[in-house]
Amino acid sequence: MTQPFIGFEKVSKVFGALTVVDQLDLAIHEGEFVSMLGPSGSGKTTILMMLAGFEAPSSGKISVAGRQVDQLPPHKRNMGVVFQNYALFPHMSVADNIAFPLSMRGVAKAESDQRVRRALDMVQLGALSDRRPSQLSGGQQQRVALARALVFEPQVVLMDEPLGALDKKLREQMQLDIRDLHRRLGLTIVFVTHDQSEALTMSDRIAVFNRGKIEQIGTPNEIYDHPATRFVAEFIGETNLIHATAEAADGEVSRVVLANGQSLSVGRKALKPGEQVCLSVRPERIKPSGTQENRIAGTVRDVVYHGDHLRLIVDAAGQTVVLRSERSEAAPTIGDGIEMSFSPRDCWVVAR
Amino acid sequence: MSRRRRLPVSLALIAPLGLFLLIFFAAPLYTMMSAAVSDPIASRALPGVGSALASWDGSAAPGPDAQAVFARDIRSIEDDQLFGDLVRRLNSAKPGFRTLMSKTRTALREDLKANDLVAIDERWSDPAYWQAVKTATASTFTDRNLLAAVDLERSPAGDIQAMPAGISANRTTLARTFVVSLLVTIACLLIGFPYAMIAASVEGWKRQLLLGAVLLPLWTSLLVRTAAWFILLQDNGLINSALMALGLSSGPVPLIFNRTGVVIAMTHVLLPFMVLPIFSVLIGIPKNLMPAAASLGAAPIRAFWKVLLPLSMRGVVSGSLLVFMSALGYYITPALIGGAQDQMISSVIAYYATGAANWAMAGALGIVLLAATIILYTLYLRLASDQQVQP
């Protein structure tokens, strides 16, 4: 196996009695866009800060491009960092902000001017080069911060919840812009976020963090469709966790039984009979009709209008199941009996 | 409430402040400033002489007409107090008037016909005496005190010239005041900036402790603090004993009654005025700017010069200005800790105001100090508005 571009080996970070990062192993390849996703306090920002050099690991090794960096001060790491609140220098114009890393590297004035202009064009802010950061909108400040982190062509770009302060529409636009830049420039990007939809939209791979450990790492598809743990299933997107007991695993198909005695078949997964599990089924995978293999009967408790679709909240087998229903004339109403169904392929067993 | 009814209420609310400022600030300031430039004694005592001497060319003693007016005015002074003031005023311009005037007055009162002053005293033939009389009676305002405050005077011909060396040392004292204030400001900056940085970088009880340590001196009287330094800085005081016990010095280092002691004590007293403005600016600077500078390739020292220092400049400038301006007016500390060669301008003002009862001179020195301070403040405002960071 080739050496990863960024490698964490048994990296821990301890603050007093609190272990923030616990024995982390992580490999990131060159040109990859990796998101670190997790709730606040899960250690994702600390990992980024250790990579940037603002925090020293308590133990373990961090290497970038085959070189161990954990003893290197931040200003020698050559990483572009985009901070949560942009961290633009308020006393400098936009152009001076972007020229800052170049002047620190002794780039000649003429070349620096040219590169600043190119960076400004790249983020479509060419006309605002003389403004102060305070005269810009949040989205524009974000673009300046991005241009500043990219202008010196760093080997890695780190982003710490860079879109957190923007409103939804702007955030979605910036997500696409950053993804586009990543593809065009072939950047290696480590992106910290607590917003799962952001991570799903932008990343090549997502590392889901919980309490200083990686719960699961994989492509957005893998993470969404095949959550490894209950935490991942709940954290990424919306899901139904249906409590069940493993019944039998005979070859291709495993069977589980619900509290009301109903038996369901689930996808391939080695289960010990009697094991307490959860079935994770996405709301959009459950059909409000009996057309699929696993059928459950229930009573509609509520119907929530969402514009393009309806959400049905159904009491079934002593549990609450949420499902997504297309709008149609025959929409069920509160109190209706309903038969739902889903395919064994669309449910995923996680430990309870 | 209507707008019209609100105005009197607002005025009534600020009236105590307005009255306070008027009575205890504006009025004394005006009194002292006008005392520095007003010179009404001679014009009041000798009402006719001013116009009589207006056309006099100053080459020789004035003609008999002018002398007659002078004699008449002298005879008509009934008030001995006024005559005393007149003599003092003239004597301060030209020594010798004290004996001359009393002799002349006595002679003129004995012989009501006599108008030839030269016959009474030879000195009246000297134009220098008449020049003094002319200057004193020409106007109720004078620039004498203001000029004297910066070691200047008017020649008998009315030109501004430097006072003879050794007469007055106001310029030296003013220069010394500025040098000491500057030294104290620099010392406060060198100690206060790193201190403020540390205080801004820690949190919780540590910050409270650091700020408390700075504020503590402010809760103690200036006199007490100065007296404490008086004890600490002595030849066998705590500092010298420690230095000698540690073997850093073989004999006592002279720390008191010299410039060093004054700067040490004033720096201690004025340090809070440097630390607090810098601190308040520093805590307003976003925490991630220095990490950002580092990530962009700036080594810590360069990041400080390029980012932290420019952003904290407003605190540095206002702290420096506060310290410098307070130091300009310092009186007790230099008086107690300093030697004869370390007295600042305020002690000269105090001497004129309380020792010599020469309020005019005290007022003039005050005006010079005030003017210097206002010039500095204007410079500061210029600089501050130039590099104002947009909010």
pLDDT of B54 over the 50 cut = yes
Report, as an integer, the average pLDDT of A178-201. Answer: 91
Report domain extents, chain A. 6-233, 238-351
Contact at CB, A89 and B292, closer than 8 angstroms: yes
pLDDT of A197 over the 80 cut = yes
Of B292, B295, B390, the CB nearest to A132: B390
What pLDDT does B184 receive? 96
Mean pLDDT of chain B: 87
Give the residue on B whose Cα is nearest the Cα of A149.
B296
Report, as an integer, the average pLDDT of A208-226. Answer: 91
Q: What is the pLDDT of residues A98-150, one digit of tens each?
A: 999 999 999 999 999 999 999 998 888 888 999 999 999 988 999 999 999 99
Contact at CB, A53 and B296, closer than 8 angstroms: no
pLDDT higher at B338 or A327: B338
Q: What is the pLDDT of residues B185-237, one digit of tens each?
A: 999 999 999 999 999 999 899 999 999 998 887 888 888 888 888 888 888 88
pTM above 0.95, yes or no: no
Report, as an integer, the average pLDDT of B33-61. Answer: 85
Looking at chain A, the whole-number percentage of residues with pLDDT higher than 90 is 41
pLDDT of B294 over the 90 cut = yes
Q: Give the tokens for residue B76.
A: 């008509």
Q: What is the pLDDT of residues A258-276, one digit of tens each?
A: 877 788 888 766 677 778 8
C-alpha closest to that of B104 among B82, B123, B85, B90: B123
Report, as an integer, the average pLDDT of B376-390. Answer: 70
Question: Which CATH architecture is the domain A6-233 placed in?
Answer: 3-Layer(aba) Sandwich (3.40)
pLDDT higher at A137 or B116: A137
Under a CB-based contact definition with an 8 Å cutoff, are residues B200 and B279 in contact?
Answer: yes
What pLDDT does B389 receive? 46
Contact at CB, A85 and B286, closer than 8 angstroms: yes
Report, as an integer, the average pLDDT of B340-350. Answer: 87
Mean pLDDT of chain A: 88
The band of A91, judged by pLDDT with boundaries at 50, 70 and 90, is: very high
ipTM: 0.81
Q: Which of A156-165, A248-257, B179-188 has the highest mean pLDDT?
A: B179-188
The band of B183, judged by pLDDT with boundaries at 50, 70 and 90, is: very high
The band of A249, judged by pLDDT with boundaries at 50, 70 and 90, is: low
Of A77, A87, A104, the CB nearest to B302: A104
Separation between Cα atoms, residue A223 and residue A210, nearest integer Å: 14
pLDDT higher at A48 or B119: A48
Separation between Cα atoms, residue A297 and residue A279, nearest integer Å: 16
Under a CB-based contact definition with an 8 Å cutoff, are residues B157 and B135 in contact?
Answer: no
What pLDDT does B390 receive? 40
CATH number of A238-351: 2.40.50.140
What pLDDT does B276 receive? 93
What pLDDT does A1 receive? 46
* Chain B residues in contact with chain A using a Cβ-Cβ cutoff of 8 Å: 286, 288-289, 291-300, 302-303, 306-307, 310-311, 389-391
What pLDDT does B381 receive? 82
Q: How far is B185 from chain A (nearest CA, A)?
A: 25
pLDDT higher at B167 or A227: A227
Contact at CB, B298 and A104, closer than 8 angstroms: yes
Q: Give the tokens for residue A47.
A: 């990992």
Q: Which residues of A touch B312 (CB under 8 A)?
A: none
What pLDDT does A41 receive? 84
Separation between Cα atoms, residue B308 and residue B317, nearest integer Å: 14
Question: Which H/E stretch holds residue B349?
Answer: helix B345-350
The band of B1, judged by pLDDT with boundaries at 50, 70 and 90, is: low
Report domain extents, chain B. 42-140, 170-386
Give me the sheet containing A189-193, strands edge to edge. Answer: A79-82, A156-160, A189-193, A33-37, A205-210, A213-218
Does CATH place domain B170-386 in 1.10.3720.10?
yes
What pLDDT does A245 receive? 85
